[in-house]
Amino acid sequence: MTESLINPRENRRPAKNPGDEMLTLQEACRFLRVPEGTLRYWRHLGCGPRSFKIGRHVRYWRTDLILWLTEQTNRPQDRR
Protein backbone atom coordinates (compact mmCIF):
# COMPACT_ATOMS: atom_id res chain seq x y z
CA MET A 1 0.00 0.00 0.00
CA THR A 2 1.10 3.50 -0.66
CA GLU A 3 1.52 6.08 2.05
CA SER A 4 -1.42 8.16 0.79
CA LEU A 5 -3.81 5.23 1.22
CA ILE A 6 -2.64 4.59 4.77
CA ASN A 7 -2.58 8.19 5.92
CA PRO A 8 -6.08 9.74 5.62
CA ARG A 9 -4.65 13.24 5.87
CA GLU A 10 -2.98 12.75 2.50
CA ASN A 11 -6.41 12.20 0.89
CA ARG A 12 -7.98 15.39 2.22
CA ARG A 13 -9.16 17.99 -0.23
CA PRO A 14 -7.15 21.21 -0.37
CA ALA A 15 -8.31 23.97 1.95
CA LYS A 16 -11.28 25.89 0.63
CA ASN A 17 -11.06 29.44 -0.56
CA PRO A 18 -12.29 31.72 2.28
CA GLY A 19 -14.87 33.06 -0.17
CA ASP A 20 -16.50 29.62 -0.33
CA GLU A 21 -17.77 29.89 3.23
CA MET A 22 -21.40 28.83 3.74
CA LEU A 23 -23.47 31.42 5.64
CA THR A 24 -26.77 31.23 7.49
CA LEU A 25 -29.56 33.71 6.81
CA GLN A 26 -28.52 35.78 9.83
CA GLU A 27 -24.86 35.79 8.81
CA ALA A 28 -25.78 36.81 5.26
CA CYS A 29 -27.87 39.68 6.67
CA ARG A 30 -24.94 40.89 8.74
CA PHE A 31 -22.63 40.63 5.72
CA LEU A 32 -25.06 42.59 3.49
CA ARG A 33 -26.10 44.91 6.34
CA VAL A 34 -29.81 44.44 5.67
CA PRO A 35 -32.63 43.34 7.98
CA GLU A 36 -33.57 39.67 7.95
CA GLY A 37 -37.05 40.51 6.65
CA THR A 38 -35.55 42.29 3.64
CA LEU A 39 -33.41 39.30 2.65
CA ARG A 40 -36.38 36.95 3.11
CA TYR A 41 -38.51 39.23 0.90
CA TRP A 42 -35.83 39.42 -1.81
CA ARG A 43 -35.62 35.62 -1.73
CA HIS A 44 -39.43 35.40 -2.09
CA LEU A 45 -39.35 37.75 -5.09
CA GLY A 46 -36.33 35.98 -6.60
CA CYS A 47 -34.36 39.21 -6.89
CA GLY A 48 -31.85 38.73 -4.08
CA PRO A 49 -28.60 36.81 -3.93
CA ARG A 50 -28.64 33.12 -4.88
CA SER A 51 -29.54 30.86 -1.98
CA PHE A 52 -30.14 27.18 -1.38
CA LYS A 53 -31.64 24.95 1.27
CA ILE A 54 -30.11 22.24 3.35
CA GLY A 55 -33.15 20.47 4.72
CA ARG A 56 -35.33 23.35 5.83
CA HIS A 57 -32.45 25.76 6.45
CA VAL A 58 -31.59 28.53 3.96
CA ARG A 59 -27.90 28.99 3.23
CA TYR A 60 -25.78 31.35 1.11
CA TRP A 61 -22.27 31.03 -0.28
CA ARG A 62 -20.18 34.09 0.56
CA THR A 63 -18.96 34.26 -3.07
CA ASP A 64 -22.59 34.47 -4.26
CA LEU A 65 -23.20 37.41 -1.92
CA ILE A 66 -20.10 39.18 -3.24
CA LEU A 67 -21.10 38.53 -6.86
CA TRP A 68 -24.63 39.79 -6.21
CA LEU A 69 -23.30 42.95 -4.56
CA THR A 70 -21.01 43.51 -7.55
CA GLU A 71 -23.97 43.13 -9.92
CA GLN A 72 -25.99 45.62 -7.87
CA THR A 73 -23.11 48.09 -7.91
CA ASN A 74 -22.60 47.79 -11.68
CA ARG A 75 -26.22 47.94 -12.82
CA PRO A 76 -27.51 51.20 -14.33
CA GLN A 77 -29.32 53.49 -11.94
CA ASP A 78 -32.97 54.36 -12.56
CA ARG A 79 -33.32 57.96 -13.65
CA ARG A 80 -36.49 59.49 -12.24
Mean pLDDT of 48-68: 96
Mean pLDDT of 56-79: 91
User: Is the pTM above the cut of 0.85?
Assistant: no
The CATH class given to the 19-66 domain equals alpha beta
SS (H, E, C) the chain: CCHHHHCHHHHCCCCCCHHHCEEEHHHHHHHHCCCHHHHHHHHHHCCCCCCEEECCEEEEEHHHHHHHHHHHHHCCCCCC
Q: What pLDDT score was predicted for residue 78?
A: 74
Q: What is the pLDDT of residues 23-48, one digit of tens each?
A: 999 999 999 999 999 999 999 999 99
